[in-house]
Structure 1
C-alpha cells in the first residue's frame, strides 16, 4: 500500500476552466518546491503538454476506455513516481463519459477508481446563487464521489463572488479560492481546441503568471490537505520493462516531434525504450534528414494542416522519408502522420508515400473506436482487437487502401502497405490514435520489425554542396562541420568579424595580474580563484570549479556521469557535441524553429542531460530565466552555457546566482576580456555534479594565468568595467543591426550577444572574403544553412566598412535570401 496525495480537478461541463486551474495549481505547487505529477482524464494530448510545462515532468493520461480500468492505478503510480502530489485534470463535465457507457471513462469514473477527492471548478460569470444548486446536485448525484472543495472561476467582482460564497455555505463544501475574468491567461484555440504548448509562443511565461495568480487566490494549503486525505493505493506501479521484452541490436526509432507533431503518449517512448529501442526525436519542419541509422519511424499526432507550407518547404525531409519508407523502414503513422504521408494536404504536396489526398473537412470527427486488425501487420496479428480514438477535422480519399490498417467498428480504414516489396507490411497509417500502455503487444511487434530492418543511410542532397562558392572560385573549406571554429575564417589581410573576442585593449590591472602569475615558480593553485568565484556568486566553494575555458568544462561534464540520453539544443556552440562524442556519446539535437525561441516541451522528457546556451551562439537569443528553469526536472542535469552573459547589461536572465538542484552554469572570460590564449572559465551550480566534474579534472589543468584572470575579474572594479563594455556592445550592435536591415538583410531580432546572426544569402560570405572581410559561416551550426552568417560586433567605423562592402556585393548581383 502506498500513500500518494492526489486530487482531481473537475467541472460541471466543458469551458468552466479546468485546464486553467489544474495547470495553475501544478505550477504553483511546483514553485513551492514540491514534485508535482500532472495527469489528464481521457485521450486528450493538448492539456498534458501544458501540464508538462507546469510540472517539469511528462504529462500523462488516465483513460479506462483506451487502457482498461485495471491499469488506471498502476499508470497513476508509475507516472507519479517520486512525486509529492498528483493533480488530475478531468474531462468534459464530471459525470460525462463515453456515449452509451453510463458514465464509463468519465472524470467521476476515474476519480472513483483511483480513490481521489474532487475539487470542482465552476464558471460563475452568468449566475450567482444558482451556482450552489449546481454544486449541490453534482455532490449528491453519486455518493461515491467526494467533492471536497470548489474554485469559483470568472468572477465579475468581489460582491458577485461573495453572493456565491454565501449560497454555497449550506452545501458544506468549502470555497478554496476565486479567480476573476482574465483573458490574458487563456490559451488560444483553433479547430481542434487549444493550441498545443509546443506551438504557443511564451507559454512558459503564461504558466508562470498563472501560477502566481493561483498561489495568490487559491488556498494551496487547503488543496494539499484535500489531496492528502486520499486513501492509500494498492497494486504495483506501471513499469514498461514488465510489459515488453528487449529486442537485439538497439534499433533507432525516429520519433516525429516539433510544432507539427506534438501529440503522443509518454508511455509510447517508454515502451519502445524498454523493448530495446533507442528513440530519437526529429522535427519534420526543421531537420534535413532522419536520425543516423534509423530502423523505425513513428509519426504521431499533431497539426500538420497548420504547418503544411513549412512541411512542404522542407524538401530534404520529404525526400528522406520517401526514401526510407520505400526501402522498407517500418513506419507507424497516426492521424497527423497519415496526413503527412499522403500525396497532398489541402493541395499542398506532402511525402507521397500513401496514394491518397487529404483535405480539411467541415465537421469534427471525435469518437472512441474499437479496432480489429484485418490481417497481420506492424501493430498486431489478424483478429487482434484494441481500443483507440479519432480526433480530426480532415478527410482522406480514399479512406482505406487495398489492405486497410484497421476495421473500425467494422469499416475498413487506413493503409497497411508493403512499399519495399519484402512480403510483409512495413507501413501502417491510420486516423486511429492508440495508447500502447493498454496494448503493449503493439510496441513489441513494432520494435521487433525495426530490429529486423536495415538501417537507413544519410541522404545526400545536391543542394547541400557548396556550389555557390565553387562557381565563383571563392574560398571554402570542404568537410566543415561541428569541428569548425571561427578562427578558421581568418587569413592574412582580412578584417575580423568572425571571432567573438572583443578587440578593445585589456585593462591594465588584468595585464598586471597575468604578468604576476608568470613570475610564480610553483604549480598552479586554484584555491584563491575558487574562493573569489564563490564570493562573486554568493555560493559555498564546493559549488564552483575553475576550468581551462568552456571546452574543458564541457569535457568534464560529458565524462562526469554515465549519461543515457544527452540532448543539445541547437543552433548552439558545437563544443558540447565534440565533448560528448569524445566521451563515446551521441547527443540528440533539438533544433529550434525560425524564431529560435526555446520551448521546454520540445526537449525529450527522458533526456538526462540538456545543454543550452544563453545568450546562444550563434543566434544571440537570450532565453528567459523562467524558460530555462522549466527545463529542470528530477533525474536531469541542465547545463546553461553563459559564455556571453557578461556582454549583457546587468547580466539579466542569468541563472548563476540561483541555487537549483540539477543546474550547472558555465562562464568564460575569453570574449569580454580579450584573452583567447588564456583558457579561463568556470562551472557554478549543483555541488554533487560539480564534485563529479572535479573527479574528472586532471591536476593543474587550469594554468596560473587563467587562475589569476579568474580572481582578478571577480573584483568590483572588474564588474564595473564589464558592465561598461556591455553597454558599449549594445550601442555598437545597434549600428550593425540597423545597417544590415537597411540593406534588406534579415537579422535574428533581439540579440543580446556581441554578435548577430544574419541571413546574408548563399555565397555572400565568400564574396565578402574576397573584399577583405571575414564573417563566421552559419551552416556548421545544426539548423542553419549556407545563407546564414554570424557577424561579430565591432566599433562603428569598422562596422560601416563591412556594410559598404556588403552593399557592393549586392550591387554586383549576388542576391540576398533573407
Structure 2
C-alpha cells in the first residue's frame, strides 16, 4: 500500500512544530494536494489548525491510549484516501510516557508506520553547534529514520549558511528549509495552549498567511519527494485492524440520537472516537450551550466534551433556559456523559480565576474552582468505581487529563466519584469525577476507539432511555 507521508518532529516542546507544520500543510493544500493531517498524542487544539489549513479533519495518533494495531488502522483508513499524509509530532521526538521507553512518543509512532521524520531545530544563539545537536538525535535511535532538518529562528543569511554547512557536512542529512525569526508567525495561546480555531477572529487569516511565509524558506518539492519515497505499508493492515475493532456487539445498530456540544466553548473530541460512536449506531446531533436556547428534539443522550467553558463563563451562565433543560433531561434519566470542560458545565457553579462565581447546570453537586496552576496533566488509567453509562464497576481504560480547575463537592451531597485514577507520571491513585445513575462526568478525556465497548455501553443506555421515552409517549396518547 503506497501512502506518501512524513512527520514533522522537534528537538523539544516550543520549537515551532505547530506553526511550521500548519504552514506546510497549508502550502501543500494550496499546491493542489489532498492533505490528511495528524497529531501525535492526545492534544485537541493543534489539530484544529491542521483542519483549517487543509480542509480535512485532523486525527490523533496516540500510542499510549490506543494499542498499536488500532493506531495503524486509524492512520491507514484515512491516509489511504489522501494524496499525502502529514503528521505533527508531540513534545521532543523521543518524549513519551516514560523516561526509558518510547511509547507515546513521536519516535514510536514514526517507527510504527515506517515514516520519515523531518526534525525542527531552534537555531537561536547557535551555529556549528547545531550539527552536534542533530548528530545526537540521529545516533540516539538508529531505527528512527530522520530524513531531513528544518531550521527555525534563523537570524540572517550568514547564520543560515553556517548552520546549513555544519549539519550537511557533519550529519550527512539535508536541510530542507528554514524559517526566519518572525514574531508575526507565532500563533496565539493561553493557559491550556494555543487558542482553538473555533473561536475564529483573526485565526483564519493567520493560518492562510502561514502558507506563503513557510514557502519562502522551505522547499515543498523536497518534502513531497521525501514523502513519495516512504516505504510501502502492508496491504493487510486495514483488514486486520478492522477485525479487531468490530468485535463485541457491533451488529447492534440502535440508531439513537445523541446531542453533542459543539461551539466555541466545547470542541475537544477525538474524531476517530466520534466515528466509532456513529459506527455503533449513534446519530450525533450538534448543539451549542452558548447559542441555543433549547436542546434538539428527540434526543436519547448527551455528550459534552472538553473545551474552554471558563473563557465563556458569563455567556454560558446567561443561557439559563438551556441549562434548565439539560438538568431536567438528566433528572428524567437521559444518559449524560461529560469530559473535563463538560464536567465544569454540569457542576453547580464555576469559580473563575478572580474568585467570582457563575451558576452552571447543577447536575453535578459541586463547584469547579479555577486555579493558577495545573491541577492535572498527562496520561491516566481510569478504573470505574461503580457501574456507569460507559463502563461496569472495575473496568479500566486509558485516557488523558489537562486542567486548571478542581471539583469541590457540595457539603452533605453524598458525592459519588466516578473513577480511581492512576497517573502515569507519578503512579499515585486519586479519585476523580462524578457518577450517579445516568450521569457520568470527569476530568478524563477518553477515546472510544481505544475500547469500542465503551461506545456500545453508552449507546445501549441511550437506547434504553429511548424505549422508555417512546413508551411514555404512547401511554400519554
**Contact residue 247 and residue 447 of structure 1 kept, 8 A:** no
**Contact residue 66 and residue 450 of structure 2 kept, 8 A:** yes
**1:16-48 CA deviation, whole Å, 9 max, x = no partner?**
111111111111111111111111111100111
**1:613-646 CA deviation, whole Å, 9 max, x = no partner?**
xxxxxxxxxxxxxxxxxxxxxxxxxxxxxxxxxx
Larger radius of gyration: 1
Q: How far apart in 2 are the matches of 1:269 and 1:121?
A: 32
Q: How far apart in 2 are the matches of 1:15 and 1:305?
A: 25
Structure with greater strand percent: 2
**Contact residue 3 and residue 80 of structure 2 kept, 8 A:** no
**1:338-366 CA deviation, whole Å, 9 max, x = no partner?**
00001111111111111100111232121
**CA apart distance, 1:222:** 0.8
- Structure 1 position 362 matched with structure 2 position 393: no
- Structure 1 position 406 matched with structure 2 position 395: no
Residue 374 of structure 1 corresponds to 385
Residue 236 of structure 1 corresponds to 238
**CA apart distance, 1:199:** 1.6
- Structure 1 position 209 matched with structure 2 position 209: yes
Q: How far apart in 2 are the matches of 1:306 and 1:456?
A: 37
- Structure 1 position 254 matched with structure 2 position 262: no
**Contact residue 73 and residue 233 of structure 1 kept, 8 A:** no
- Superposition pairs of residues 438-517 of structure 1, within 5 angstroms: 438-454=450-466
**CA apart distance, 1:401:** 6.1
**CA apart distance, 1:393:** 0.7
Residue 343 of structure 2 corresponds to 338
- Structure 1 position 24 matched with structure 2 position 29: no
Q: How far apart in 1 are the matches of 2:16 and 2:341?
A: 27
**1:524-578 CA deviation, whole Å, 9 max, x = no partner?**
xxxxxxxxxxxxxxxxxxxxxxxxxxxxxxxxxxxxxxxxxxxxxxxxxxxxxxx
With over 3 angstroms needed to count, the CA separation of the structure-2 counterparts of 1:68 and 1:249, relative to structure 1, is closer
With over 3 angstroms needed to count, the CA separation of the structure-2 counterparts of 1:77 and 1:367, relative to structure 1, is same
Aligned-partner SS, 1:207: helix
Residue 447 of structure 2 corresponds to 435
Q: How far apart in 2 are the matches of 1:417 and 1:252?
A: 22
**CA apart distance, 1:249:** 4.8
- Can you give the 5+ residue segments of structure 2 that lack an aligned partner in the other structure? 352-356, 423-428, 470-477
Residue 708 of structure 1 corresponds to none
- Can you give the 5+ residue segments of structure 1 that lack an aligned partner in the other structure? 419-425, 458-818
With over 3 angstroms needed to count, the CA separation of the structure-2 counterparts of 1:131 and 1:118, relative to structure 1, is same
- Superposition pairs of residues 193-204 of structure 1, within 5 angstroms: 193-204=193-204
Normalising by structure 2, what TM-score?
Answer: 0.90
**Contact residue 61 and residue 75 of structure 2 kept, 8 A:** yes
**CA apart distance, 1:316:** 1.6
Residue 40 of structure 2 corresponds to 41
With over 3 angstroms needed to count, the CA separation of the structure-2 counterparts of 1:248 and 1:117, relative to structure 1, is closer
Alignment equivalent of 2:434, drawn from 415, 424, 449: 415
**Contact residue 282 and residue 459 of structure 2 kept, 8 A:** yes
**1:55-104 CA deviation, whole Å, 9 max, x = no partner?**
11111111111011232211111222410111110011111111345222
Between 364-373 and 329-338, the greater mean CA deviation after superposition: 364-373
Aligned-partner SS, 2:371: strand
Residue 785 of structure 1 corresponds to none
Aligned-partner SS, 2:373: strand
**1:499-527 CA deviation, whole Å, 9 max, x = no partner?**
xxxxxxxxxxxxxxxxxxxxxxxxxxxxx
**Contact residue 346 and residue 362 of structure 2 kept, 8 A:** yes
With over 3 angstroms needed to count, the CA separation of the structure-2 counterparts of 1:166 and 1:236, relative to structure 1, is same
Residue 131 of structure 2 corresponds to 132
Q: How far apart in 1 are the matches of 2:118 and 2:125?
A: 20
Aligned-partner SS, 1:66: coil
Aligned-partner SS, 2:95: coil
**CA apart distance, 1:402:** 4.2
**CA apart distance, 1:248:** 5.2
Q: How far apart in 2 are the matches of 1:86 and 1:118?
A: 12
**CA apart distance, 1:223:** 0.4
**CA apart distance, 1:189:** 0.8
Q: How far apart in 1 are the matches of 2:97 and 2:396?
A: 18
Q: How far apart in 1 are the matches of 2:414 and 2:112?
A: 40
**Contact residue 26 and residue 55 of structure 1 kept, 8 A:** yes
**Contact residue 74 and residue 272 of structure 2 kept, 8 A:** no
Residue 180 of structure 2 corresponds to 180
Question: How many residue pairs get matched?
Answer: 449
- Structure 1 position 287 matched with structure 2 position 297: no
Q: How far apart in 2 are the matches of 1:398 and 1:63?
A: 32
**CA apart distance, 1:403:** 3.2
Aligned-partner SS, 2:238: coil
Residue 475 of structure 2 corresponds to none
Residue 623 of structure 1 corresponds to none
- Superposition pairs of residues 674-693 of structure 1, within 5 angstroms: none
- Superposition pairs of residues 723-734 of structure 1, within 5 angstroms: none
Aligned-partner SS, 1:298: strand
Q: How far apart in 1 are the matches of 2:26 and 2:338?
A: 33
Aligned-partner SS, 2:266: coil
- Superposition pairs of residues 656-675 of structure 1, within 5 angstroms: none
Alignment equivalent of 2:397, drawn from 386, 392, 397: 386
C-alpha RMSD of matched pairs (Å): 1.9
Q: How far apart in 1 are the matches of 2:49 and 2:316?
A: 24
**Contact residue 340 and residue 444 of structure 2 kept, 8 A:** yes
Alignment equivalent of 1:274, drawn from 260, 264, 279: 279
**CA apart distance, 1:297:** 0.3
Residue 408 of structure 2 corresponds to 397
**Contact residue 331 and residue 427 of structure 1 kept, 8 A:** yes
Q: Which has the higher contact order (CA 8 A, sep 6+)?
A: 2
With over 3 angstroms needed to count, the CA separation of the structure-2 counterparts of 1:18 and 1:232, relative to structure 1, is same
Q: How far apart in 2 are the matches of 1:101 and 1:394?
A: 31
**Contact residue 277 and residue 448 of structure 2 kept, 8 A:** no
Normalising by structure 1, what TM-score?
Answer: 0.53
With over 3 angstroms needed to count, the CA separation of the structure-2 counterparts of 1:100 and 1:163, relative to structure 1, is closer
Residue 728 of structure 1 corresponds to none
